Amino acid sequence: MTVFKYFIKIALRNKGIILSYIIVFLILSIINGNTSYNKETNFIEKKLDIGIVDNSNSELSKELVSYLKKKNNIIPTTADEKHIREQIFLGIANAVLIIPQDFENKISNKVSAIELYKDDRTPEAYQVENQINKFISFAKATYEDNRYDLSMVSNALDESIEVSLVARDEKDINENTNTWFRIYFNFSSYIILAIYISVIGFVMTDLTSKEIENRRKVSSIKFLKFNREIYLGQLAIAAFITSIFLLGSIILRGKYIGEVDFAKYVINTLVFSFAALCLVFLINNITSNKFVLSGLSTILSLGTSFISGVMVPQELLGEKVLGIAKFFPTYYFVKINEMNINSLLDVKYELSMQLLFAMAFLVVGLYLSRVKLRNQ
């Protein structure tokens, strides 16, 4: 097992690449974890992120602020217009409102009073504007003897209708937790492909260099045995890298795996890893130039992630983009992660497509390696 041993040894020399990718990935997964994991059994009103600057501090403005606080998440902001615009631009806030000093005066004179920063193209913008106008109209409707009856307004605004959540078709899945797993596994496809191509590719360039080739030819080791140990080495490294991601999900969210379809994620990741390994096999038969490999590692992993829905959901991508994405296994991998299934049969097409790609990569790779051998 000399070849196998050296394969692993050289692969682990690239631990810098493996570690840097994995550390960044795990840090992001931890940051991504600050969301709720409660199961959606009731309808929950969508709370918006809004910033409020109250320059009036009047009874009316305070009541408006307290109403908006009840309905939304209040985020810190400042009266600086540049800062506010950046908060909206980046999506940190859905809206920011500035209540002027002479708020009550303006309201009683029916003058537009509140400066509202928002992106008009979004439903959130409509929602906040509606909440503000509703509160003021209600308050004005109670205006008598130079005063508003704000307790009456508050009581009325506490009224709400019942909303029922219709039963789902799919398995009983905790959607909030599922989102974390979906993002985690989608993203792992990018890292798995990038590490496979660079690490396994680099080892292969070392092991297939002319010097090693010549030494192998004069040694007693058989070509078949040499290759078998190399493939075993590739499989071992691939299994090691993939298992880090599988284990990572168990370590980070182990107690929630019962609430999602964990088996689906595991099987999908294993199938994808196999397809990725076959792709690496093909690439290694195309080039053994380290510079080309590092370029391919970045471009293929990032490129397929961008067009297959790892970075943004597939439904937001154009049809043409998805049309191209269908020529890569990542597309089918992401599609399975995005689906809620009753059994693996629901995703048999997507799983078989990944396996078919794996086979196609293998066949083309084998053909190229035969051509190379013949030329030698």
Partner 1 sequence: MGNIFRNILYQGRNSYRDKSFIFWILLYPIIMAIFFYTAFSGIMDIDFKNIEVGIEEENSIRTVFESIDILNVNITPEKDSIDKLNKGDIEGFIDKNLNLSVKKSGINQTIIKEILDQIRQMGELNVPFEKFDFETNYVIDRNQRANSIIILFYSLIGMVSIYGVFPGIEIATTIQANLSNVAKRMNISPLRKGEFLFSGVIISLLLNIASNILLLLFITYVLKIKLLFDIGPSALLILVGNLFGITFGILLGVSNKLKLNAKIILSIAITLVLSFFSGMMNPEIKVMIDKSFPIIGKINPISIITNNLYRINLLGNTSGLDTGIYTLIGWIAVLNLISYGFLRRKTYDSI
Integer Cα distance of 268 and 278 in angstroms: 15
Q: Is 79 in the site for partner 1 (CB under 8 A)?
A: no
Positions in 167-186 near partner 1 (CB under 8 A): 167-169, 175
Helix (H, G, I), strand (E, B) or coil at 98: strand
Task: Specify which residues 97 forms β-bridges with.
Answer: 52, 116
Q: Is 33 in the site for partner 1 (CB under 8 A)?
A: no
- Site stretch for partner 1 (CB under 8 A), options 138-146, 223-231, 275-283, 341-349: 138-146
Nearer Cβ to partner 1 (156/371) = 156
Query: What phi, psi does 163 have (nearest 5°)?
Result: -120, 130
Q: Is 152 in the site for partner 1 (CB under 8 A)?
A: yes
Query: Do you know the residue count of the chain?
Result: 376
Positions in 220-279 near partner 1 (CB under 8 A): none
Nearer Cβ to partner 1 (74/311) = 311
Contact by Cβ (8 Å): 288, 181: no
Q: Is 127 in the site for partner 1 (CB under 8 A)?
A: yes
- Site stretch for partner 1 (CB under 8 A), options 153-161, 238-246, 251-259, 338-346: 153-161
Sheet with strand 95-99: strands edge to edge: 73-74, 49-54, 95-99
What residues have CB less than 8 Å from 10, skipping those under 6 apart? Answer: 202, 203, 206, 207
- Choice from 1, 12, 79, 156 touching partner 1 (CB under 8 A): 156
Integer Cα distance of 298 and 280 in angstroms: 13
Contact track, partner 1, 287-326, x by CB under 8 A = ---xx--xx--xx--xx--xx---xx---xxx-xx--x--
Nearer Cβ to partner 1 (2/170) = 170
Residue of 108, 90, 87 whose CA lies nearest to 98: 87
What residues have CB less than 8 Å from 149, skipping those under 6 apart? Answer: 142
Q: Is 63 in the site for partner 1 (CB under 8 A)?
A: no
Nearer Cβ to partner 1 (36/352) = 36
Number of residues forming the site for partner 1 (CB under 8 A): 89
Q: Is 373 in the site for partner 1 (CB under 8 A)?
A: no
